[in-house]
Amino acid sequence: MQFDTSMLIPVLPEIFILTAACVILVVDLFLKEEQRVISYGMTQISLLLAIVVTLMTAPAETRIVFDGSVIRDGMSDLLKIAIYIISAGAFLYSKDYLKDRDLFKGEYYVLGLFAVLGMMVMVSANTFLTVYLGLELLALSLYALVAFDRDSANSSEAAMKYFVLGALASGMLLYGISMIYGATGSIGFQAIGEGLANPDVNKMVLVFGLVFVVIGLAFKFGAVPFHMWVPDVYQGAPTAVVTFLGSTPKIAAFALAMRMLVDGLGGLHADWQYMLVILAILSMGLGNVFAIAQGNIKRMLAYSTISHVGFILVGILAGTTKGYTAAMFYSIVYAVMALGAFGIVILLSRRGFEAENLEDFKGLNERSPWFAAMMLLVMFSMAGVPPTVGFFAKMFILESVVSIDMTWLALVGVFFSIIGAFYYLRIVKLMYFDKPVDASPLEAGIDTRIALSVNGLSMLALGMFPAGLLSLCSAALS
């Protein structure tokens, strides 16, 4: 491999985040307890600067460096920027929550930044090896984050389950990769793509490997039946962690699917299309139906995630640029919606009190009409009510499958969305039509207030003007 320094430029964002994480780790050592906010500030500034670095180093055309390991293209840039912004939002929401519970530690932010780095590597991966590297970096950071409140039995249990199942899924993914390597003799995506075109290649082995790869992916997404960890982790982990874990990793998972299935195994589209059909239908169906039966808001949102994942998979399985664009739009929008929903859950929690049950939303309108309205927007968006952005996200997905003559799948999606609308609207009903159990006013810092307002109103703004984000997405994929 020829090395020259210009190869470092495409990976500068990753280098920057890595450096920032290390610097914060060291600086944090020398901080007093009450100065912890400096680590927080540095993390946010790093994420902000990462946007600048990413924009400044954005290449005019796709660049593949380090012997084909890393790719820097329009998609990676857009997704990374979305990851920075949404992660920063999650860190912002979690600040007060962590402070109230004596969890306000530098490690949280360092682990968070490492997770961001892992996602960045995934997004820019161009070989199975790089994919795996990013995936594990993200997963290990998340395991630790889930167990962050280590005195809590629930958190530890959740982390344990997540870890064991994650290890199982990683094992399956690696096994699948080895099969594909065996059949094509390569782990680079371009090389695999060429290998698939070769008529001598053993189709049986390939499909065998493909099944394992898809399962690894499905676990990352939390698609049924590889979703079992999702509700337990969402419920057990501290809400602050769930805010992070429930939002950005969906974007990374989308990138994972694009890199592995489309870039690498695009030649097997006919095979993985039907695998994803099964996963998508099961996810949309069970996710929505299970969510209805939940009384715990975090569990409910966990099942809601699963159903949204089903929708993202529908977009990917369409196998057309239109479908990928729609799925990309959906995953970014979903991350923003999830961020808003958990932001409100965090807002409702106080020292010594976890807002976990649906009852805690009762009469929110009387306690704070503004935040109730924000939650209303987020819920409408999740349910897909126009003119919120959730409607357009769903519509683009449905359009993309209708255009490949799979109208029946669109109908299935619509059918389950209707079922899903029930539990989102139930929250709205609780907020607006029930009397509050606990009438104490909500306290929040000005930063949280502004962020939540921006977050909620973005549902409306993106819904009124969906063309902007959509054209960004389609430009990133072309």
Partner 1 sequence: MEKIYLLIVLAPLIGAIIAGFLGSKIGRAGAHWVTSGGVGLSALLSIYVLLQFINGSTGIYNDSLYIWMVSDGIRMEVGFLVDQLTAMMMVVVTFVSFCVHIYTIGYMAHDEENWPKGSLAGTNSYQRFFSYISLFTFSMLMLVMSNNFLQLFFGWEAVGLVSYLLIGFWSVRETAIFANLKAFLVNRVGDFGFILGIAAVAMYTNSLDYAEVFKLAPGLADTQISLIGGTEWSLMTVICICLFIGAMGKSAQVPLHVWLPDSMEGPTPISALIHAATMVTAGIFMVARMSPLYELSETALTFVLVIGATTALFTGLIGVVQNDIKRVVAYSTLSQLGYMMVALGVSAYAAGVFHLMTHAFFKALLFLAAGSVIIGMHHDQDIRNMGGIRKYMRITWITSLVGSLALIGLPGSSGFFSKDAIIEAVHHSSIAGSGYAYFAVVSGVFITALYSFRMYFLVFHGKGPRDEHAKAHLHESPKVVTIPLILLAIPSLFIGMFTVGDMVFGEWFKDAIFVLPEHDTLSAIGFHGTWAFFTHGIFGLPTLLAASGVAVAFVFYIKKPELAESWKKRFESVGIYQILDKKYGFDETYQALFAGGSRGIGKLLWNVGDKGLIDGLIINGSARSVDRFAGWVRNIQTGYLFHYAIAMILGLLVLLTWFVIA
Report the residue number, 132 or 226, with the smaller CB distance to partner 1: 226
CA distance 85 to 336: 9
Which one of 28-36, 55-63, 133-141, 167-175 is the stretch in contact with partner 1 (CB under 8 A)? Answer: 167-175
CA distance 347 to 72: 38
Report the residue number, 49 or 358, with the smaller CB distance to partner 1: 358
Compute CA 334 distance to the chain's CA centroid, rounded to the nearest angstrom. 8
Question: How far apart, in Å, are the Cα atoms of 312 and each of 265, 306, 324, 358?
Answer: 18, 10, 9, 27
Binder to partner 1 among 219, 234, 324, 371 (CB under 8 A)?
219
User: Judged by CB under 8 A, how many residues of this single chain contact partner 1?
Assistant: 36
Over its C-alpha atoms, the chain yields an Rg (Å, rounded) of: 21
Report the residue number, 98 or 223, with the smaller CB distance to partner 1: 223
Which one of 55-63, 67-75, 144-152, 157-165 is the stretch in contact with partner 1 (CB under 8 A)? Answer: 157-165
Report the residue number, 40 or 416, with the smaller CB distance to partner 1: 416
Which one of 159-167, 183-191, 312-320, 446-454 is the stretch in contact with partner 1 (CB under 8 A)? Answer: 159-167
Exposure on the CB side of residue 317, measured as CA atoms within 13 A: 27
The closest alpha carbon to 300, from 391, 234, 225, 368, belongs to 234
- Residue 12 contacts partner 1 per CB under 8 A: no
Compute CA 32 distance to the chain's CA centroid, rounded to the nearest angstrom. 33
Binder to partner 1 among 48, 164, 411, 414 (CB under 8 A)?
164
Nearest distance from residue 340's CB to partner 1, in Å? 23
**Contacts (CB under 8 A) with partner 1, residues 226-285:** 226, 228-229, 231-232, 271, 274-275, 278
Residue entry with tokens 């409607």: 391
Binder to partner 1 among 7, 49, 140, 160 (CB under 8 A)?
160
Nearest distance from residue 457's CB to partner 1, in Å? 15
The closest alpha carbon to 74, from 30, 15, 124, 120, belongs to 124
- Residue 289 contacts partner 1 per CB under 8 A: yes
Binder to partner 1 among 211, 402, 404, 425 (CB under 8 A)?
211
Nearest distance from residue 215's CB to partner 1, in Å? 6
- Residue 467 contacts partner 1 per CB under 8 A: yes
**Contacts (CB under 8 A) with partner 1, residues 314-343:** none
Nearest distance from residue 143's CB to partner 1, in Å? 14
Nearest distance from residue 232's CB to partner 1, in Å? 7
Nearest distance from residue 235's CB to partner 1, in Å? 10
- Residue 168 contacts partner 1 per CB under 8 A: yes
Which one of 94-102, 109-117, 219-227, 324-332 is the stretch in contact with partner 1 (CB under 8 A)? Answer: 219-227
Nearest distance from residue 173's CB to partner 1, in Å? 12
Nearest distance from residue 211's CB to partner 1, in Å? 5
Amino acid found at 411: L
Which one of 20-28, 63-71, 158-166, 243-251 is the stretch in contact with partner 1 (CB under 8 A)? Answer: 158-166
Burial of 405 (0-12, 13-18, 19+ CB in 10 A): exposed
Report the residue number, 7 or 160, with the smaller CB distance to partner 1: 160
**Contacts (CB under 8 A) with partner 1, residues 378-437:** 419, 422
- Residue 461 contacts partner 1 per CB under 8 A: no
CA distance 74 to 304: 30
Q: Is the dihedral of CA 429, 433, 439, 442 positive or negative?
A: positive
Strand partners, 127: 188
Nearest distance from residue 200's CB to partner 1, in Å? 19
Report the residue number, 53 or 428, with the smaller CB distance to partner 1: 428
Residues lying near partner 1 in the complex (CB under 8 A): 160-161, 164-165, 168-169, 172, 204, 207-208, 210-212, 214-215, 218-219, 225-226, 228-229, 231-232, 271, 274-275, 278, 286, 289-290, 292-293, 419, 422, 466-467
